Amino acid sequence: MRLVILDRDGVINEDSDDYIKSPEEWRPVAGSLEAIARLTQADFRVVVITNQSGIGRGLFNVDMLNRIHNRMVDEVHHKGGEIDAILFCPHGPDDRCRCRKPEIGLFDDLAARLKTNLNGAYAVGDSLRDIEAARAADAIPILVRTGKGLRTLARGGNALTGIAVYEDLAHFVSVLLGPGVGPAAS
């Protein structure tokens, strides 16, 4: 099975230090929706694993998160792509849960649902915790410069040794698939 795991904020959509609290605040990173469509057309399964501590902080509730995700899924679908699943952690960093990246609880849940291991799956993120979770889950970590990616590069040091870095999701997908694959190719 060909699988790409995506972080949400900073990879698919623009990130905000104030959190994305409504569908109206959700704005895609340029080229990200088309990149997901290209992955879909190339028979990759696309799954989103995202920390959403705004729920635990009381900034929005699960119903609002579902509305945000519905907008994201609809916009991806409109471009010809599919998101197979969205797994999220609602906890804050002090909750010490097993599902919040850099912990791998959601990666383990995904592997159990798919009845496979994640060895060889790509995991694209913009933060060190995304990279750490991918490594711990035996996925291939990919860092993008969008979102918090530039900050991660500046602070990452030795933790980023050997990690492939791309401008954004669209750049990663273009390199992964090469020219001529999917609807975004010219």
pLDDT digits (tens, 9 = 90+) for 26-78: 999 999 999 999 999 999 999 999 999 999 999 999 999 999 999 999 999 99
Contact assessment for residue 166 and residue 139, using Cβ atoms and an 8 Å cutoff: no
Q: What is the CATH number of the domain that holds 84?
A: 3.40.50.1000
What is the maximal distance between C-alpha atoms in the chain? Answer: 47
Residue 186 lies in a domain: no
Residue 185 lies in a domain: no
Contact assessment for residue 96 and residue 104, using Cβ atoms and an 8 Å cutoff: no
Q: Report whether pLDDT(98) > 70.
A: yes
Residue 127 lies in a domain: yes
9: annotated active-site residue? yes
* AA letter at 67: R
Count structural domains, the chain. Answer: 1
Residue 24 lies in a domain: yes
Which is more confident, 157 or 99?
Answer: 99
Query: The dihedral of CA 145, 125, 23, 77: what is its sign?
Result: positive
Residue 116 lies in a domain: yes
Q: How confident is the model at residue 1 (pLDDT cuts 50, 70, 90)?
A: confident
Distance CA 177, CA 39 (A): 8
Residue 183 lies in a domain: no
What's the pLDDT at 51? Answer: 97
Distance CA 167, CA 62 (A): 31
Enclosing domain of residue 83: 3-177
Distance CA 51, CA 145 (A): 18
Per-residue pLDDT, averaged over 182-186, amounts to: 36
Residue 184 lies in a domain: no
Spell out the SS3 assignment of 51-114.
Answer: ECCCCCCCCCCHHHHHHHHHHHHHHHHHCCCCCCEEEEECCCCCCCCCCCCCCCHHHHHHHHHH
Distance CA 126, CA 132 (A): 11
Residue 21 lies in a domain: yes
Beta-carbon count within 10 A of 53 CB = 17
**109-149 confidence digits (pLDDT tens):** 999 999 999 999 999 999 999 999 999 999 999 999 999 99
